[in-house]
Structure formats: structure tokens, C-alpha cells
Amino acid sequence: MFTRRDFLQYTVNAGAALGLAGYGANVTRALAQQKLTQDDLLKFDSKGQVTLLHFTDVHAQLKPVYFRPPDTNIGIGDYAGIPPHLVAEEFLTHFGIEKGSPLAYAHTMVDYVELARAYGRLGGLDRTATLVKAIRADRGDDRVLFLDGGDTWQGSYTSLKSNGQDMVDCMKLLKPDAMVGHWEFTFGEDRVKEIIDDMGYPFLASNIFDNEWDEPVFDSTAMFEKGGVKVAVIGQAMPYTPIANPRWMFPKWSFGIRPDTLQENVDKARADGAEVVVLLSHDGFDVDRKLAGVVNGIDVILTGHTHDAVPQAIEVGNTLLLSSGSHGKYLGRVDLEVKDGKVVGHSSNLIPVFSDVIQPDAEMAAQIDEVRKPHEAELNRVIGKTETLLYRRGNFNGTWDDLICQGIIEQRDTQIALSPGFRWGTTLLPGQDITIDDLYTETSMSYPSVYRLEFTGAQMKEILEDVCDNLFNKDPFFQQGGDMVRVGGMSYTCSPNADMGGRISDMRLTSTGEPLQADKKYVVGGWASINENVEGPPIYELMERHIMSKQVVNLPDQPTVKVNM
């Protein structure tokens, strides 16, 4: 029987070929593709009666993408040094993955540019459709539940222009059984309700209540029978959406983790005959790891939001926890064997969606072409070229945000620039053109105005301390999402393990080396403010002007954050 270990051994020969002197990019890529096939990706240690497929945080990426995994993913307290807070060689060693192999490329930033040129892009909704249809055909549709973990509608030029309709039309062809949400809510309450009425499958959220009546806004649970087993799927929206995103876009709703409410819904599902309880969550990995120890009776948590990717499900007590990455790079799978109303066996895998290996599904490919066709000329319009690897993901920095901060400083004439620590946004390799499509994968959102304000040094420290506590609070239930806000025009030292108020020190202007003074005012620019009626140009228009003025992007490697662990 073919297992994940067999897959690693089978593909290591291809991985060993990568990076050897004398191999040109085309030859290396050909070797990689010869060693890896669609059938290899689909081989799996099938088990039991129920198959769960999980897809999350695609951020409206219809086409295959490059997405560089983070070089920094810090865990705090009890969560330090364990998945998903492992990167690079530590990740490879922990999961037994050979350096240079397909899985090493899919999961880490080690030798990223070289391996990206060898293995190509990952994802693409047409490739995901191929995998989903193949698994449904192999297992039988009556045994498979396909679940969408949210952050699906937002993150591209076409999603912005269509208010998410491009994703809704394409996702209908994938036929999910249920979904949850987060960035979906930034389209506004009315639009969210309109889409839910149209999409044809349940939108679940056990933790969203009406502020006036304190009643659930959405269904909490959907019941299914798969393989003769009764399965309850309970939904959990991102708990801190009104903090991470503008509350004024959905003022009637309150969120939160609400573990007591979740326990009540689990108990009710069991009382209604559920033999398997699945939490489809957008809480984030550490929140759900803690939740697994707080709420009884959950068999599987399929988590999203933090964009973490682990090769197989992790056992937390009696609960399996799987995080299926982001941007369409992966399809998660968990098989369950159920006997006498209990899960007695399981197998799991995270399938990397290698776009050069998987045959595109014709129906989905046609739908993608249809929704993109009216915008194709604009999407492909070249505004510049990069000589630098442009990426976003990492706890403290990314070169895309370095470029954005540079653009804000120069275009808005500021001393300091701030760029939010969003995890969404794809990667460009050195030498690639920068298109409008690429720019909007980093900036496409419904509150894009670039502000220009004055803050004192004391206020800057307060801002950085607040965001830092959201990221590095020792209690995951107080971690409110995102990576650290990116800075331009200044540097600082961060001590993640310190207490609130003591994590940020040595703030300096990079132009002069002068320390920021607590009572002195500085001109600061930034974008994605959660306040209403922010004045300023949209970030995507500002950055289009900036990149076109540069023509060629070449960012020096100048880290702005020193981390003390």
C-alpha cells in the first residue's frame, strides 16, 4: 500500500537532481516532471468509510501561483518549536522530508528560487477540480465530504471587480458541501448574504451572533450521511474579524471564539446521532490546537486562517488537526474508519497541487477563462520587472511589503510607512514581469486607501506593541491574526517572549539612525486602516504609479527588524 513515506522515497530521486551543477532550468524541470505524476499525487492509504477533503485560504487565486513559504514562524510558550512553528531545515527534519524533493519545495523556502524554476507553480482551481473529481470517483461520492475553510472570495483583481462573483461561479463547479468565512465579510453584510443565497451550499458559523437579539446569524451545523456514517460539520468563522477588519462593514454582528457555544453545538450534534463531528474552522492553528483540549467530542478540526501547511494531520488528544495551507497550493485529505459510533482509525495527507503535473479539469478551466476574459488585457498589462524575489509571508518581513513601504514613502512623501501583516499575496521570481494581476494579488481589498498622518514616537511604539501582542500573546485565544505589521523608513528590535509593553525597543529612523523620540511627531503613511472614511489613494493605484516609475525593482537586503528570542 502506498504511504506518504513511499511518496517521499519515490520522489527523492527527482529532488536529488535539483540544484546539481550543469543542469539547466529546462533540463531540471523536465527531470522533475518525469519523476512525478498525477497518479503519484493521488495515491493514498485509503481507510474506512468517510473521506474529508479540505481546501482553505485560496484568496481568489484561480490560476497556478508561486508562493514562497515563510522563513520565520515563531511559536510562543507551549507552542514554541512544534508544528506549525517550524521552518526550513527544522521542518524538513521533523517531517522526514528530503531536501530538494517536491515536498521540500512545496513546504519550505529552502532553495526556493531554484526549486520553483524546476517544479513550477502550484495550485489552480482547475487542477484542484481534477483532484477532487478523481477522489470522488475513486471513493464514491457518497463517501466524500469536500469542505471550504474560507478566505475564498477575496484577493485578486477579478474578485475585486466582481465583488467575489468570479469565485462564487467557479466554486459552484467544485460543489463544496459547506464553507466558513473571514475575508468574505469585507464585502459587507448585504453582499455576503446575497452570495450565500446564491451559492447553493451551507455557510456555517456557530460563533456569529446578532448584536440586537443575541441570536445566531448563520446555521452552526450541517449533517451528512457518508459511507453509512452520520457526520456533523460545525462551522467556525474567524473569531476576531471585527478587530482585524473594519467593524463598520458588518456592524450588526458579533464574533468571538465562544467555546461554550461550540461545546453546546457539539453536544447537540452527538444527541442528534452524529458519529463523527468535524469542526470546519477559520480560527488559526494554535487557537484550534488549544480548542481541541477545551471542547470535548470533536473528532477532526480542519483549520485555516494562519496559512500553515502540515504534511499530515496532527493528533491533539482524541482530535485530529489538519491545516491545508493557502492560495490553492494544497488539497487536504483525511480518511476515517468508524465503528460503533467512534473513529477507530485514520489516514491523512496534504496533496501539493503541482500545476505542471495535474491535468486541468476542462469544465473548470473553461469557467476560469470565462470570468477572466473581460479583464484579460488589463490583467496581463506589464507595469515593471523585478530583479528581486518578491514574496510576502513571514512573521516580520517580506519583499513585497518592502516595496509597498518604499512606494508609500516616495509617493506620499512620508518618513515612515506601515504595511499590514497580511498573509495573502503570491510570489514573483527574479526576472519576472510585474503585471496588474500580480499587483492586485498583494493589494486587492475593499478598504485600500493610503492615509498620511502624524504619529509621535510614543504612538508608534504603542501601535507596534499592540500588533505584536496580537501575534505573540502566550494564550492563543488572544492571538487575533496576521503577521507583524511591516515597516519602512524605520527599524526596531522585537522580543516576542517579553510581556506586553516590553517587546518593542530601539526604534530608529533608517535614513539617519536617529532614535524615535516619544514626544516628537513623524509623518507616517499606511494602508488598510480599519477606520471608516479614510482619505487617500487606493494602494493598488499608488503602487502601479510607483512600479511604473521604477520600471525595474531591485530591493536591497536591509532587514528592518532585529529579533531577540
Examine the pLDDT at 163 and tell me if it is beyond 90. Answer: yes
Final residue in a domain of this structure, among 371, 395, 416: 371
Reading the block at residue 490, the C-alpha cell is 524605520
Residue 73 included in any domain: no
How do residues 521-547 score in pLDDT, each as one tens digit? 999 999 999 999 999 999 999 999 999
Overall average pLDDT of the 550-556 stretch: 94
Alpha carbon distance 26, 9 (integer Å): 24
HEC readout, 122-180 = EECHHHHHHHHHHHHHHHCHHHEEEEECCCCCCCCHHHHHHCCHHHHHHHHHHCCCEEC
Least confident of 16-20, 133-137, 311-315, 410-414: 16-20
Overall average pLDDT of the 133-142 stretch: 97
Is residue 209 domain-shared with residue 353, that is, in the same domain?
yes
Alpha carbon distance 139, 144 (integer Å): 7
* DSSP states of 241-300: HHHHS-GGGSTTEE----HHHHHHHHHHHHHTT-SEEEEEE-S-HHHHHHHHHHSSS--E
pLDDT at 557 (0 to 100): 75
Give the model's confidence band at 18: pLDDT under 50 very low, under 70 low, under 90 confident, else very high. Answer: very low
Parent domain of 325: 36-66+120-371
Is residue 102 domain-shared with residue 171, that is, in the same domain?
no
CA torsion, ordered 189, 191, 197, 199, to nearest 10 deg: -120
* DSSP states of 33-94: HHH--HHHHH-----SSEEEEEE---TT--SEE--PPPS-----GGGTTSTTS--HHHHHHH
Quote the Cα angle for 348-349-355, to 5°. 155
Examine the pLDDT at 227 and tell me if it is beyond 50. Answer: yes
pTM: 0.93
Is residue 411 domain-shared with residue 343, that is, in the same domain?
no
H or E element: which one contains 314?
Answer: strand 314-316
Instruction: Write the CATH number for 335.
Output: 3.60.21.10
Measured CA to CA in angstroms, residue 503 lies from 192, 401, 403 at distances of: 38, 22, 26
Mean pLDDT (the chain) is 93
Give the model's confidence band at 23: pLDDT under 50 very low, under 70 low, under 90 confident, else very high. Answer: very low
Reading the block at residue 390, the C-alpha cell is 518578491
Examine the pLDDT at 256 and tell me if it is beyond 90. Answer: yes
Is residue 347 domain-shared with residue 452, that is, in the same domain?
no
Sheet containing 450-456: which strands, arranged edge to edge?
450-456, 521-527, 416-419, 486-488
Examine the pLDDT at 190 and tell me if it is beyond 60. Answer: yes
Is residue 311 domain-shared with residue 432, that is, in the same domain?
no
Residue 332 included in any domain: yes
**Collapsing DSSP states into helix, strand and coil, what is residue 8?**
helix
pLDDT at 7 (0 to 100): 38
Give the count of domains, the chain: 3
Is residue 274 domain-shared with residue 301, that is, in the same domain?
yes
Examine the pLDDT at 17 and tell me if it is beyond 50. Answer: no
Is residue 90 domain-shared with residue 57, that is, in the same domain?
no
Instruction: Write the CATH number for 424.
Output: 3.90.780.10
Residue 71 included in any domain: no
Residue 74 included in any domain: no
Alpha carbon distance 83, 101 (integer Å): 20
H or E element: which one contains 407?
Answer: helix 399-412
Grid cell 508544528 in the structure block, residue? 83
Beta bridge partners of 210: 253
Examine the pLDDT at 12 and tell me if it is beyond 70. Answer: no
How do residues 444-498 score in pLDDT, each as one tens digit? 999 999 999 999 999 999 999 999 999 999 999 998 877 999 999 999 999 999 9
Overall average pLDDT of the 207-222 stretch: 96
Is 269 within 8 Å of 206 (Cβ atoms)?
no
Overall average pLDDT of the 559-564 stretch: 92
How do residues 63-107 score in pLDDT, each as one tens digit? 999 999 999 999 999 999 999 999 999 999 999 999 999 999 999
Report the b/e string of 355-389 with b at 16+ CB within 10 A: bebbebbeebbebbeebbeebeeebeeebbbbebb
Alpha carbon distance 396, 423 (integer Å): 11
pLDDT at 34 (0 to 100): 53
pLDDT at 558 (0 to 100): 78
Is 248 within 8 Å of 447 (Cβ atoms)?
no
Is residue 29 domain-shared with residue 151, that is, in the same domain?
no
Alpha carbon distance 545, 540 (integer Å): 9
Is residue 473 domain-shared with residue 483, that is, in the same domain?
yes
CA 251 to chain centre: 25
146 φ/ψ angles, rounded to the nearest 5 degrees: -105, 120
CA torsion, ordered 131, 134, 137, 142, to nearest 10 deg: -10
In 375-518, where do the E strands start and end? 382-386, 416-419, 433-435, 450-456, 486-488, 490-494, 504-509
Is residue 498 domain-shared with residue 541, that is, in the same domain?
yes
Maximum separation of any 2 CA atoms in the chain, in Å: 70
Is residue 459 domain-shared with residue 514, that is, in the same domain?
yes
Beta bridge partners of 221: 234
Examine the pLDDT at 13 and tell me if it is beyond 80. Answer: no
Alpha carbon distance 368, 384 (integer Å): 25
